[in-house]
């Protein structure tokens, strides 16, 4: 069932609400994204939207408190500090002489139009993420006797990676901000879905065989995952 979208007013501010019916849901479920001011309502198949919206307003104070907890975005601007492969780097705008970005002494040197720092740096991070992820994928997939189809880098909101039945893999560009072991864990995780398209015991045994230190990366993401989504 396709989701529907509504706009509501909470304390004189407009919020977008995603409403989706779920055949397995037994009650109305209200959820707030931990990275963006998005509100989600999941409702049973026989429930109506009006009751779901009424439920939201009855829990208005909880919703507003959860929205306040969402961390502020950190923009890619001159002198901003961002992590790159787990190490903090400072963005340094270096002039319009050429279109070039490179790393030097824990600084990300950005050339080009000043008003395009954010766009150019994000494109560069997407490119770097794909290079690093492809390196890991080509190495690790050889141990599985499988082949993936395509690898895409996306702005994923609710996961760090996905694996389709057709063998297409998608990964969040934000993995380039995390330590390399975190990126490696996510790549291995999705590659293992080429063998087991589930999270069964067999799947986790396979992940552990290819990446024994998975708990270190899982714990890092639990602690720092929301932080990675503050960069934009």
Residue 152 sits in the same domain as residue 224: yes
* pLDDT at 110 > cutoff 80: yes
Instruction: Look at residue 169 and tell me if it is in a domain.
Output: yes
Residue 17's domain spans which residues?
4-68
Instruction: Look at residue 179 and tell me if it is in a domain.
Output: yes
What integer is the mean pLDDT of 96-106?
93
Residue 62 sits in the same domain as residue 92: no
Instruction: Look at residue 75 and tell me if it is in a domain.
Output: no
**Structure confidence at residue 157 (pLDDT):** 84
Spatial separation of the C-alpha atoms in residues 174 and 154, rounded to whole Å:
9
Q: Which stretch of DSSP H or E encloses residue 89?
A: strand 87-95
Instruction: Look at residue 76 and tell me if it is in a domain.
Output: no
67: left (phi over 0), alpha (psi -120 to 50) or beta: alpha
Q: Which two tokens stand for residue 91?
A: 């963005």
Instruction: Look at residue 164 and tell me if it is in a domain.
Output: yes
Query: How many domains would you assign to the chain?
Result: 2
Spatial separation of the C-alpha atoms in residues 127 and 100, rounded to whole Å:
13
Spatial separation of the C-alpha atoms in residues 108 and 232, rounded to whole Å:
16
Q: Which stretch of DSSP H or E encloses residue 32?
A: strand 29-32
Last residue of a domain, one of 20, 43, 68: 68
Residue 155 sits in the same domain as residue 187: yes
Q: What is the CATH number of the domain that holds 184?
A: 3.30.2010.10
Residue 19 sits in the same domain as residue 117: no
Chain mean pLDDT for the chain: 94
* pLDDT at 52 > cutoff 80: yes
Last residue of a domain, one of 44, 68, 92: 68
* pLDDT at 1 > cutoff 80: no
Residue 108 sits in the same domain as residue 218: yes
pTM, whole model, 2 decimals? 0.83
Residue 198 sits in the same domain as residue 223: yes
Instruction: Determine contact, residues 18/56, Cβ cutoff 8 Å.
Output: no
Angstrom distances, CA of residue 35 to CA of 53, 59, 106, 232: 22, 20, 27, 11
Residue 59 sits in the same domain as residue 91: no
User: Can you give the length of the chain in residues?
Assistant: 232
**Structure confidence at residue 204 (pLDDT):** 97
Instruction: Look at residue 116 and tell me if it is in a domain.
Output: yes
Last residue of a domain, one of 42, 68, 94: 68
* pLDDT at 56 > cutoff 80: yes
Tell me which range, 8-17, 65-74, 198-207, 222-231, is most confidently predicted by mean pLDDT: 198-207
């Amino acid at each position: 069932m396709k989701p529907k979208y509504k706009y509501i007013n909470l304390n004189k501010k407009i919020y977008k609400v995603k409403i989706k019916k779920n055949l397995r849901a037994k009650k109305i479920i209200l959820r707030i994204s931990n990275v963006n001011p998005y509100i989600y309502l999941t409702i049973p198949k026989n429930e109506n939207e009006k009751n779901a919206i009424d439920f939201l307003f009855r829990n208005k104070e909880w919703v507003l408190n959860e929205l306040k907890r969402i961390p502020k975005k950190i923009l890619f601007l001159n002198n901003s500090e961002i992590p790159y492969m787990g190490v903090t780097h400072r963005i340094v705008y270096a002039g319009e002489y050429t279109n070039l970005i490179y790393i030097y002494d824990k600084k990300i040197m950005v050339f080009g139009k000043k008003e395009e720092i954010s766009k150019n740096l994000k494109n560069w991070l997407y490119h770097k993420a794909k290079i690093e992820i492809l390196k890991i994928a080509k190495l690790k997939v050889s141990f599985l006797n499988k082949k993936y189809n395509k690898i895409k880098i996306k702005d994923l909101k609710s996961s760090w990676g996905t694996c389709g039945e057709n063998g297409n893999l998608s990964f969040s560009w934000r993995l380039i901000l995390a330590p390399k072991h975190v990126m490696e864990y996510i790549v291995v995780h999705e590659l293992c879905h080429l063998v087991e398209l589930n999270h069964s015991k067999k799947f986790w045994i396979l992940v552990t065989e290819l990446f024994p230190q998975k708990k270190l990366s899982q714990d890092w993401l639990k602690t720092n995952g929301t932080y990675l989504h503050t960069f934009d």
